Amino acid sequence: MIIAVDGPTASGKGTLARQLGQHFGLPVLDTGLLYRAVGYQTQLNHGDPDDAADALAACDFPDSLLDDPALRFESTGSLASRVSVHPAVRAALFQRQVDFANQPGGAVLDGRDIGTVIAPHADAKLFVTAHAEERARRRHAEMRARGVDINYDAVLADIHSRDARDTGRADAPLLRADDAMLLDNSAMDRDAALAAAIAFVESRVRRPS
């Protein structure tokens, strides 16, 4: 069984993907972490994340980088959004994601183009979202809890900027697949969102061929 979880930044899709993986006993891949690694490696290389050649060179990052806590920094998320607009970067990471999705037994993948590009054959597809203001509120609270001194308006501006890049890129833009469940969790807690997602996945698995 393959479960695709897509959605914009700070929508809660990563948390939901991990919960679904635990519930159904499936391995989980946060594909955004791959792009964060490329963005961060570009910075380590003193390259320009907006330059396709610099970003492509950073795709050859060491596997150990995926365990670096710096990949979770908000600034690294912005770098990931910038390098992900380059078709060459997406092509370089494509097979790695496809192989993970198609492993025996299935998997859960979360990202921006799982249901449309990486695993269009997924058994269940979810598009997780929330209003930009609510996503900014959550992200701001999360950052403040980690001791990051940043104001809400700056977080909201970054959310809008990343949304524009993700939906406006020419290659594999952020889109809801036609057969994906729209899960707007603006007014939902995590338990309610998880229950809705589990019910949807189970309905797709039970569906006759």
Tell whether the model's pLDDT for residue 148 goes beyond 90.
no
Report, as an integer, the average pLDDT of 165-194: 94
Give the pLDDT confidence of 99-145 residue by residue, as tens digits: 999 999 999 999 999 999 999 999 999 999 999 999 999 999 998 99
Share of the chain above pLDDT 70, in %: 99
Categorise residue 3: left if φ over 0, alpha if ψ from -120 to 50, beta otherwise.
Answer: beta
Q: So what's the pLDDT on residue 72?
A: 87
- Joined together, the tokens standing for residue 98 give 């496809």
Q: Which domains does the chain show, CATH number per domain?
A: 2-204 (3.40.50.300)
Q: So what's the pLDDT on residue 107?
A: 98
Share of the chain above pLDDT 90, in %: 85
Report, as an integer, the average pLDDT of 151-176: 92
Helix, strand or coil, per DSSP, at residue 184: strand
What single letter denotes the amino acid at residue 11? S
Report, as an integer, the average pLDDT of 38-50: 97
Q: So what's the pLDDT on residue 208?
A: 52
DSSP element (H, E) containing 114:
none
* Sheet with 181-184, side-by-side order of all strands: 28-30, 107-111, 2-6, 124-129, 181-184
Whole-angstrom Cα distance, residue 154 to residue 78? 13
Tell whether the model's pLDDT for residue 35 goes beyond 70.
yes
Give the pLDDT confidence of 122-135 residue by residue, as tens digits: 999 999 999 999 99
Whole-angstrom Cα distance, residue 25 to residue 112? 23
